[in-house]
Amino acid sequence: TFVVTEACIRCKYTDCVDVCPVDAFREGPNFLVIDPDECIDCAVCVPECPVSAIYAEEDVPADQQDYTPLNADLARVWKPITRTKEALPDAEAWREVTDKRAELER
């Protein structure tokens, strides 16, 4: 499966969702996740993300391994998002911030 990681938090550009052939993205207040039961590993979403937040599970950075189970957990409670929409208002200010874990809203 593919995994959305920390860079997405408080940015949520949503370019990724338009290209997914199986509508695997799920939306929270300031972050998206990929439903591992839906993702078919096509990889087309990866280059769409302006902040390179999406990784193949085996390539998730060592300090972000917890995002793999986090995507699976939140995918069970969040609703699908299938169309790109406006990024969050402060996305540009947050895109260079690297430590955003505490900002995640559920």
> Binding residues for ligand F3S, per CB under 6 A?
4, 8, 11-16, 32, 48-49, 51, 53-54
Q: Is 93 in the site for ligand SF4 (CB under 6 A)?
A: no
Taking CB under 6 A as the criterion, the residue among 45, 74, 81, 91 binding ligand SF4 is 45
In b/e form, how buried is each residue of 65-103, taking b as 16+ CB within 10 angstroms? eebbebbbebbeebeebeeeeebbeebeebbeeeebeee
Sketch the per residue contact string, 8 through 37, with ligand SF4: x for CB under 6 A, - otherwise. Answer: -----------xxxx-x---------x---
> Shortest gap between Cβ of 12 and ligand F3S (angstroms)?
5
**Cα 99 to chain centroid, rounded:** 15
